[in-house]
Amino acid sequence: MLAKITSKNQITLPKAVVDEFPGARYFEVHSKEGRIVLTPVRLNRAEAVREKLASLGISEADVTASVEWARKRKRA
């Protein structure tokens, strides 16, 4: 497989390679022995939670409403 570098130093990764890392949106990049090495990473756990909520169809408004509901029950 080939990947071409653009005039803006961008590379599009082949779909077959990307498919091996489902959910990866960020990669750590370094060079080693004349090669470019990409390692999939998660930026933080909060981002993972946001992605999971989005996959379940739960919006920020839903979370806010749930917190308000729970706080009202606690006061009662």
Count of structural domains within the chain: 2
- In 3D space, the residue among 18, 35, 48, 9 whose CA is nearest the CA of residue 27 turns out to be 18
DSSP-assigned beta bridge partners for residue 36: 31
Same domain for 51 and 34: no
Report pLDDT digits (tens) over 11-28.
999 999 999 998 888 899
Q: Within this chain, do residues 24 and 51 fall inside the same structural domain, yes or no?
A: no
Q: What is the mean pLDDT of residues 62-75?
A: 88
**Are the CB atoms for 43 and 50 separated by under 8 Å?**
no
Q: Mark whether 37 and 49 lie in a shared domain.
A: no
Residues 71 and 59 in one domain: yes
What span, in angstroms and rounded, lies between the C-alpha atoms of 67 and 73? 10
Same domain as 14, residue 29? yes
Q: How confident is the model at residue 46 (pLDDT cuts 50, 70, 90)?
A: confident
* Residue 25 lies in domain: 1-41
Strand partners, 65: none
Report the candidate in 51, 21, 31, 27 with the shortest Cα–Cα distance to residue 41.
27
Indicate yes or no: pTM above 0.85. no
